[in-house]
Amino acid sequence: MAKSRDPLAPPPGPSPSRRDSSAIVEAVVAAALAIGDPQTSVNTIAARAGVGVASLYRYFPSKTTIYAEISRRLQRDFLRRLREVLATPGLTVPEAVRACCALAVDVPGVSRDLRRSLNLAVPLSWSEETANAAFSASVAEIVAWLGARLVSPPADLQERVFVAFAAARGLVMMSRLLPDLAPTDDVLVDRMVRGTLAYLDLGAFALTTSAPP
């Protein structure tokens, strides 16, 4: 008897080999984002994408695999946007913290309902590899950015950044899972900034007089 497939094992991501097949994948992802309704059907997504259902299923065996691909893209996009924030000239530590918290809360082009579904419907294992790479790199980038701006960085700076980063990501996830209990996004960002600065606890460490080039 053939062994049944582990439902939590990550399915392979779409691997388009030609320009036209890449266009199909991009159209399907764009359509799912544009619709923004996790209850929509695969047929509706295909119609919005302008592709046949059979063509959609060639790259995405289920609607959940479409959302898994969106999750992976959002994780990579978060790292890209974080790097853009940290590359801003003259940014102070509080300004950087606020900008990073804001970009974690506000994801352009993704509806609240869809973000909630990405947390609920997509097994973590399906995007774990991308999440590990993106979030590990994010922590490393923040540690390097802060370390370059402190006269004598604390020995446990990475631990402080990890805890602050994990707490902020957890707040975002819970706010999407329980939207009726969560504060408005503006209030959420304010709370995240306060918590992040408290976890970093850099008040006793002198900042350099000028930011590195």
Task: Break the chain into its structural domains and give their ranges.
Answer: 16-61, 72-200
What's the pTM?
0.84
Beta strands in 38-128 (DSSP E): none
- What's the pLDDT at 118? 86
Instruction: Name the fold adopted by 16-61.
Output: Arc Repressor Mutant, subunit A (1.10.10)
pLDDT confidence tier of residue 164, bands split at 50, 70 and 90: very high
Which residue has better confidence, 13 or 84? Answer: 84
- What's the pLDDT at 209? 52
Stretch 72-97: mean pLDDT: 94
Stretch 102-126: mean pLDDT: 87
Mean pLDDT of the chain: 88
Stretch 54-78: mean pLDDT: 92
Stretch 3-25: mean pLDDT: 63
- What's the pLDDT at 15? 59
Stretch 167-180: mean pLDDT: 92
Cβ of 107: how many Cβ atoms within 10 Å?
Answer: 18
Going by C-beta distance under 8 Å and a sequence separation of 6 or more, which residues neighbour residue 11?
A: 61, 65, 68, 126
- Annotate 17-37 with b (16+ C-beta within 10 A) or e (fewer): eeeeeeebbebbbebbbebee
Please tell us whether the domain made up of 72-200 is placed in CATH 1.20.81: no
pLDDT in tens, 196-212: 999 999 987 767 655 55
Stretch 117-129: mean pLDDT: 85
Q: Does the pLDDT of residue 127 top 90, yes or no?
A: no
Q: Does the pLDDT of residue 138 top 90, yes or no?
A: yes
CA atoms within 13 A on the CB side of 202: 26
- What's the pLDDT at 128? 87
Stretch 74-97: mean pLDDT: 94
- What's the pLDDT at 3? 47
Going by C-beta distance under 8 Å and a sequence separation of 6 or more, which residues neighbour residue 187?
A: none
Q: In sequence order, what DSSP letters do the residues of 62-83 get, joined into one string?
A: SHHHHHHHHHHHHHHHHHHHHH
Which of 75, 94, 45 is closest to 172 using CA atoms?
75
pLDDT confidence tier of residue 2, bands split at 50, 70 and 90: very low
Stretch 86-109: mean pLDDT: 93
Which of 196, 21, 213 is closest to 101 using CA atoms?
196
Q: Does the pLDDT of residue 167 top 90, yes or no?
A: yes
